[in-house]
Amino acid sequence: MSQSKQAYQQLLESLREIALLGSVASMLNWDERTQLPEKGTEHRSRQASLLAKMVHEQFTSSRIGELLAAVESSSQMQSDGDVQVNVRETRRSYDRAVKLPSSLVEEITRTEILGQAAWVEARRKSEYPIFEPWLTKMLGLKQKEIDCVGYRESRYDALLDTFEPNETAAGLRKVFDSLREPLIDLVAKIVQSGRKAPLEILERKYPAAAQQAMARQAAEKVGFDFTAGRLDVSVHPFCTGLGPGDTRMTTRYDENYFGDAFFGVLHETGHGLYDQGLPAEHYGTPLGDSVSLGIHESQSRLWENFVGRSRAFWRYFFPVAKQHFPQTLADVSDEQWYFAINDVRPSLIRTESDEATYNLHILLRFELEQAMLDGSVTPKDLPAAWNQKMRQYLGITPPDDARGCLQDIHWSGGGFGYFPTYTLGNLYAAQFFEEARKDLGDLNDMFSRGEFGPLLGWLRKNIHYHGKRYTARELAVRITGQDLNPAPLLRHLRSKAAELYGV
């Protein structure tokens, strides 16, 4: 074996070992958010910060740099596409990581654990001052991270890049600006139409055990493998892929509202299907990792909304729902149900919002986190700034901070730059779904018969299998022939609004 091939094999072995260590840290994170006793938070913060330091130091070691250099200068790098992808993406991550001191990585991780615990308490009590000092501290740490890694145009770009590689705030603003007014206009027309969905149907008694059984049944039906995953409960729903054969999802149940858990599980199932579809033979390397959070989110939004809120989906699943909730749904028709689950109206909570208003929630957060990073909004100012944006975009004001600026976990964990990936996911999902219809034919007919395998197979072939071979925008062009484009999403939303609201 040549020296360059030997170096490449050693690089892959090192990356897989680092990934295994990282998966242990992810396991602790899952446990923290689902099982950890309240008094164990301080100890968990030390465990997690130590692991983060170990992962960082192993990845930024001079040995990784030497192996990368050895492969980069070889003929193998020029001729083997898999080698090119793994080396290109590893180099990209390595060059960023070596700029961050281990002490900063350790402190960010420790603050994340403690800050999230404070956020849980603040949200439960609706007392923002409990969380404000932790947000201030995390924001300061993230400013230090930005100063270490650098940026070209906007400080925000340095953090956005960790979630959506190669994307910029300027690029997002261009796309989001083309969405803002059409969305505000569409929502206004829906509100003015005077038509009201029978929302009370969703607010009846839905026992948690039956919700869990139905959500699990739906996740399994669309393709989630429960021999390689599980579903648990947490304050804020999430999905984490710990490695081949182990994908964990969570949700939360409200016995007086159907939509939160069921559509939340479909959403996390989309993430889980992506994780389960990544090539196991490439685990630990870029070819075994997802493209970006925007592409990951496209999978969750596609299954939650384009499939799960479709009329065809409920032709199959509404009889199933009536089996799980026979008394609750005894007097409900499939048309009433379809209208209720596609209700559009301005609301307070992002995770419970409808397809049409959802992106307005994201625009609000995108603008506020940029303002916090440039100093024009301070953590102390956040509740008032949040409420002002809610009035501007949705015409409503949160009655308390639990339903305002405390509703999301992201900033407590330092996730500045994360929120835009949700709207990117909606945009990419619309593009991909339109293309899948062209390639596969009558998806509605398939869904109404409970056949979801063809769509999952199409996603596996076109997206999951490739790992990080392409950037998000390259993948969109490869699949649809177009760059990131708001038009398919707007077509989808307007079509449904015309059907249900006559606008």
Residues recognised as catalytic = 268
348: Cβ contacts below 8 Å, ≥ 6 apart: 390, 396, 398, 403, 404, 407
**Rounded-to-integer distance, Cα 226 and Cα 235, Å:** 22
User: Sign of torsion, CA 204 209 215 221?
Assistant: negative
CB 431 within 8 A of CB 487: no
Closest CA to 68 of 80, 56, 84, 52: 84
- Closest by CA to 104, choosing from 146, 135, 68, is 146
Residues with Cβ within 8 Å of residue 184, at least 6 apart in sequence: 360, 393
Q: Tell me the C-alpha distance between 202 and 259, whole Å.
A: 7
Q: How many CB atoms lie within 10 A of CB 269?
A: 32
CA max distance for the chain: 73
CA distance 150 to 399: 39
Tokens at residue 382, please? 């956040």
Distance CA 222, CA 242 (A): 21
Helix axes 420-440, 169-192, angle to 10 degrees: 80
